[in-house]
Amino acid sequence: MARIRKGAGKAAPQFLEGDPSTGYLPGRKGPVIRYSLASLLAAAILVFAIELIVRGDFAGTVSFFLQPFKPGWTTIIIFALALVGLDAVLGRSHQSLMIVAPLTLALAFVGRQKSHYLGDPLYPADFLYSRQIVALMPLLVRDRPGTAIAMAAGIIGALSLLVYGWRLWRRRVPVLSRKGRLARLALTVPLLAFFVSIMDYATFSWTRDRLQIIPIMWDQKENYASNGFALAFALNVPMAQVSAPAGYSDKAIAAIDRPDVTATMPAEKPDIIVVMSESFWDPTKLPGVTITPDPIPNVRALRSGYMFSPEFGGMTANIEFEALTGFSNAFLPAGSIPYQQYVRAPTPSLATFLKSEGYRARAIHPGTNWFWNRGAVYADFGFNDFKSEETLPPMQKRGPLASDASMTDEIIREADASADPVFFFAVSLQNHGPYEPYRYYNPTHKVQAPISQWARESLLSYTEGSSDADRGLERLIEWAKKRDRPTVIAFFGDHLPPLGPVYVETGFLKDNVAPRKAPADQMLRDHQTPLIVWSNRTGPAEDMGAVSPAFLPYHILTTAGISHPYYTGFLGQMRERYRVVDRNLLLTPTGEAVPDWARQKNIDPAINNFRLLQYDMMFGKRRAAPDFFPETVDKFGPHTS
């Protein structure tokens, strides 16, 4: 007989395994087989749906599953085991689907959107900065109001159905017996633990190799395409732990050549102002596009070279990391964000050094101080203070965001008020994407191009912001020319703007975002932003070519007449060998490209020393500090990474 749950109101039947009316009889293989096949089928449908959402290509999704023993089939088995194990925890057959399906499908959707707008897959570390995604929602809503409304309605509808389905399932689906739940856990927990144990990409696994799960950590786009969304996502979990490079030891650090350079300052210390301009680029490089008048005449006249950005369309914090520390993202796990994951203790930077020489090290950003974890990171970098939206005076807006003009005003005001030499690191906000049409009510430029009206108006919005940034630079230069104190100004764009369809419609790119790996000339085209390093004593630096942000400290301090064992000594030696150090490309000063260098057996000893030195200061014993970063000795506590 069916057992009735006690309680007020209508009684609902509460079935147990062993109730003849359900077919779940102990000792019978039929129900077990049916349950197993149903779980396997549910897992297969769910994994297929996840891949279809992420890939956006039905044929490509089908081909992913066509051959046996591919990662897709392994993923299905893992999902089936997870569903069975979670059923045992919840106490109802197949109720786990109500948790696993919405969660994984939502992750797949977010992954698809990130790949579409930024060109990168979804990484576990992305959830460390989920607040940034929420903060950008107003801009996204303005850019795609119809999509935003549909998403909101979909979320509300899905949650309502989930709650209703959960309650209905609890009333009508059999309760698993204690014996059945223990049997499921005894089967699934060891197997799931085994799969977890082989997911560490840093160690070889014979089983993983036989299952054709090959971690491709140097090319994350291919990693996700080859292994599928779920497995590639899992493979990226261990990247929060950075392993020591091969050969790292006290002896290896001692063997690195010490440049014959000490920390020196000119008789009159110059003010140093670095402006990282959000998404600043030359939009006239788009094929078939004519913009009148020239949106960036000042940058064009003063340009020293190009910044080779390691990112495209976003991930500003990674460019900041290189520009302030002189370290390289090329030596960190692909997809990682040092500001979020690795800067958790005092870390050497330009601010650390200059503050030790009597400078007032200040950071300015008109956005919130938690964005990219800047508040905590700037403190670890040694800045005296960081003024953000919370502590800056009211900033005039241009469009929806704080204007470049108001940020320039604040830089000038603070520099003129300081008796001590100042080091400013300013990050603008005005020209942050997305670039919705008609962002500015009073455009001063005209865009002519054989593209859709939406794309043309979006490009006009971006052009207006770039022009404002150019005028901000002009104002800084004119102000500095009149100063008695020596002043060095560096200005550059952090990455190309996320213009999306504009790139496709003009023929600049095949997709909305640039590929991570491409021939050297294409990589330069897709990752270069204008760079100016200028002094009110000597004018603009010239013929710098394309340089990685990690070399920016070298160029700034050299222009300022300042020397340092690492920033001008070690980086100066590296600059003689390479001007671009990217995880997919090394570029020599003569333009010779070394693609896929990280996969080669014999890596240039100079690059290996660069990697060892960076690891030692970020994660290791900091044995290199006395010779390369003397300002940190006795000031930094024990490393806690």
Q: What is the DSSP string of 179-207?
A: HHHHHHHHHHHHHHHHHHHT--TTS--HH
pLDDT of residue 170: 72
CA distances from 566 to 139, 174, 304, 557, 573 (A): 41, 68, 23, 11, 10
Q: Is 285 found in the same domain as 156?
A: no
Q: Is 192 found in the same domain as 131?
A: yes
Q: Does residue 5 form part of some domain? A: no
CB proximity list for 591: less than 8 A, separation 6 or greater: 520
Counting the structural domains of the chain, the total is 2
Q: Is the pLDDT of residue 11 over 70?
A: no
CA 212 to chain centre: 28
115-119, 469-473, 626-630: the lowest-pLDDT one = 115-119
Summarised one tens digit per residue, pLDDT across range 164-178 is 777 777 777 778 888
Q: Does residue 637 form part of some domain? A: no
Q: Is the pLDDT of residue 367 over 70?
A: yes
CB proximity list for 117: less than 8 A, separation 6 or greater: 313, 314, 434, 498, 500, 512, 513
Q: Is 313 found in the same domain as 205?
A: no
Q: Return the sign of the alpha-carbon dihedral for residues 492, 495, 499, 504.
A: positive
Who has greater pLDDT, 596 or 580? Answer: 580
Who has greater pLDDT, 30 or 578? Answer: 578
pLDDT of residue 126: 72
Residue identified by tokens 């800084």 is 476
Q: How far apart are CA 608 and CA 247, in angstroms?
A: 10
308 close to 531: Cβ distance less than 8 angstroms:
no
50-54, 69-73, 492-496, 535-539: the lowest-pLDDT one = 69-73
Output DSSP code: residue 570. Answer: I
Share of the chain above pLDDT 90, in %: 57
Summarised one tens digit per residue, pLDDT across range 189-227 is 999 888 887 777 656 777 787 788 888 765 677 888 889
Q: Does residue 149 form part of some domain? A: yes
Q: Is 301 found in the same domain as 156?
A: no
Joined together, the tokens standing for residue 132 give: 């940034």
Summarised one tens digit per residue, pLDDT across range 504-561 is 999 999 988 888 888 999 999 999 999 999 999 999 999 899 999 999 999 999 999 9
329-343, 422-436, 460-474: the lowest-pLDDT one = 329-343
Q: How confident is the model at residue 6 (pLDDT cuts 50, 70, 90)?
A: very low
pLDDT of residue 45: 94
| Residue that finishes a domain, picked among 529, 564, 599 | 564
pLDDT of residue 19: 42
Q: Is 465 found in the same domain as 322?
A: yes
Is residue 323 packed enough to be buried (19+ CB in 10 Å), middle (13-18) or exposed (0-12)? buried
Q: Does residue 575 form part of some domain? A: no
Q: Is 475 found in the same domain as 441?
A: yes
Q: How far apart are CA 173 and CA 400, in angstroms?
A: 52
Q: Does residue 597 form part of some domain? A: no
| Residue that finishes a domain, picked among 224, 239, 254 | 239
pLDDT of residue 2: 43
Q: Is 175 found in the same domain as 41?
A: yes
469 close to 450: Cβ distance less than 8 angstroms:
no
What CATH number is given to the structural domain containing 509? 3.40.720.10
Q: How far apart are CA 97 and CA 484, in angstroms?
A: 70
pLDDT of residue 569: 96
Instruction: Tell me the CA end-to-end span of the chain in Å, nearest whole number.
Output: 61
307-319 average pLDDT score: 92
Q: Is 343 found in the same domain as 455?
A: yes
Quote the domain boundaries for residue 402: 265-564
Summarised one tens digit per residue, pLDDT across range 139-167 is 656 666 776 677 777 778 777 777 777 77
Q: What SS3 state is found at 86?
A: helix
Q: Is the pLDDT of residue 137 over 50?
A: yes
pLDDT of residue 240: 63
Summarised one tens digit per residue, pLDDT across range 235-292 is 887 766 678 888 899 999 999 999 899 999 999 999 999 999 999 999 999 999 999 9
| Residue that finishes a domain, picked among 239, 257, 279 | 239
Q: How far apart are CA 253 and CA 325, in angstroms?
A: 19
Instruction: Return the exposure string of 557-593: e unless at least 16 CB atoms fall within 10 Å of the residue's CB, then b.
Output: bbbbbbbbbbbbbbbbbbbeebbbbbbbbbbeeeeee
CA distances from 127 to 123, 286, 370 (A): 8, 34, 14
Q: Does residue 615 form part of some domain? A: no
pLDDT of residue 513: 85
Q: Is 425 found in the same domain as 478?
A: yes
pLDDT of residue 202: 58
pLDDT of residue 257: 92
pLDDT of residue 121: 82
Output DSSP code: residue 331. Answer: G
Is residue 301 packed enough to be buried (19+ CB in 10 Å), middle (13-18) or exposed (0-12)? exposed
Q: Does residue 155 form part of some domain? A: yes
Q: Is 147 found in the same domain as 30?
A: yes
328-339 average pLDDT score: 87
136-150, 452-466, 554-568: the lowest-pLDDT one = 136-150
Q: Is 334 found in the same domain as 204?
A: no
Q: Is 281 found in the same domain as 136?
A: no
pLDDT of residue 567: 97
Length of the chain: 641
CB proximity list for 274: less than 8 A, separation 6 or greater: 323, 423, 424, 425, 426, 489, 490, 491, 552, 556
Ramachandran region of residue 123, left (φ > 0), alpha (ψ -120 to 50) or beta?
beta
Q: Is the pLDDT of residue 377 over 70?
A: yes
Q: Is the pLDDT of residue 453 over 90?
A: yes
Q: List beta partners, residue 491.
A: 275, 532
110-114, 122-126, 237-241, 245-249: the lowest-pLDDT one = 237-241
Q: How far apart are CA 226 and CA 204, in angstroms?
A: 18
Q: Mean pLDDT over all residues of the chain?
A: 87
Across 13-27, 76-90, 331-345, 559-573, which has the greatest mean pLDDT? 559-573
pLDDT of residue 210: 79
436-462 average pLDDT score: 94
Q: Does residue 78 form part of some domain? A: yes
